[in-house]
Structure 1
Amino acid sequence: MPSDIAPITSTQNPLVKKLRQLHQTKGRKQQGQLLLEGTHLVEVALAQGKRFNHGCFTAVWQEKNPALVDRLVAQSAQSYLVSGEVLAKMASTVNPDGVVATLAMDQFWRSPPPNPQLGLVLEHLQDPGNLGTILRTAAATGVEGIWLTADCADPTSPKVLRSSAGSSLLLPQQQLESLPPLLEKFQAQGLQLIATVPQGSQTLWEIDFQRPTIVIFGSEGQGLSAPVLAMTTHQVAIPQAPAVESLNVAIAVGVMLYEARRQQWSVSTPG
Structure 2
Amino acid sequence: MITSLQNPLVKQLRKLQRAKERRNQRLMLLEGTHLVEEACAAGMPLVTACHTTAWQQTYPQLWSVLMQRAIRVELVSEEVLQAIATTVHPDGVVATAERTLGSAQFMSPTRAVQLGVALETIQDPGNLGAVIRTAAAVGVDGLWLSVNSVDLDHPKVLRASAGQWFRLPMTVSGDLSRDLQMLKLQGVQLVATVPTATLTYWQVDFTRPTVVLLGNEGGGLSSALLTLSDVAVKIPLAAGIESLNVAIAAALVLYEARRQQSFTEVLPR
TM-score class, shorter: over 0.9
> Which of 220, 239, 243 is matched with 1:242 structurally?
239
Aligned counterpart, 2:36: 42
Deviations 1:148-169 (A, max 9, x none): 1111111211111111111112
Separation in 2, partners of 1:238, 1:215: 13
**Secondary structure at 1:60 match in 2:** helix
**Secondary structure at 1:23 match in 2:** coil
Q: How does 1:98-247 map to 2 (within 5 A)?
A: 98-107=92-101, 108=103, 109-112=105-108, 114-247=111-244
Amino acid aligned to 2:2: I
Q: Is 2:11 aligned against 1:14?
A: no
> Which of 12, 19, 29 is matched with 2:23 structurally?
29
Amino acid aligned to 2:257: A
Separation in 2, partners of 1:49, 1:246: 38
Uncovered stretches (5+) of structure 2, i.e. residues with no partner: none
**Secondary structure at 1:136 match in 2:** helix
C-alpha distance 61-259 of structure 1, shift in aligned 2 (>3 A): same
Separation in 1, partners of 2:266, 2:67: 42
Separation in 1, partners of 2:77, 2:42: 28
> Which of 38, 52, 60 is matched with 1:58 structurally?
52
Which moves more between the two structures, 66-75 or 163-172? 163-172
**Secondary structure at 2:16 match in 1:** helix
* Structure 1 contact 123–219 (Cα < 8 Å) conserved: yes
Separation in 2, partners of 1:225, 1:147: 15
1:240 CA displacement: 2.6
Separation in 2, partners of 1:247, 1:234: 20
Separation in 2, partners of 1:196, 1:51: 37
Aligned counterpart, 1:4: none
Which moves more between the two structures, 15-24 or 34-43? 15-24
C-alpha distance 191-93 of structure 1, shift in aligned 2 (>3 A): same
Uncovered stretches (5+) of structure 1, i.e. residues with no partner: 1-6
Which 4+ residue blocks in structure 1 deviate beyond 4 angstroms? none
Aligned counterpart, 1:261: 258
**Secondary structure at 2:136 match in 1:** helix
Amino acid aligned to 1:110: F
Separation in 2, partners of 1:22, 1:170: 23
Separation in 2, partners of 1:245, 1:88: 39
* Structure 1 contact 126–220 (Cα < 8 Å) conserved: no
1:270 CA displacement: 7.3
Separation in 2, partners of 1:128, 1:176: 17
Separation in 1, partners of 2:156, 2:25: 18
Separation in 1, partners of 2:49, 2:243: 43
Please report the RMSD computed on the Cα atoms of aligned residues, expressed in angstroms.
1.4
Aligned counterpart, 2:75: 81
The TM-score with structure 1 as length reference comes to 0.94
1:121 CA displacement: 0.6
* Structure 2 contact 112–141 (Cα < 8 Å) conserved: no
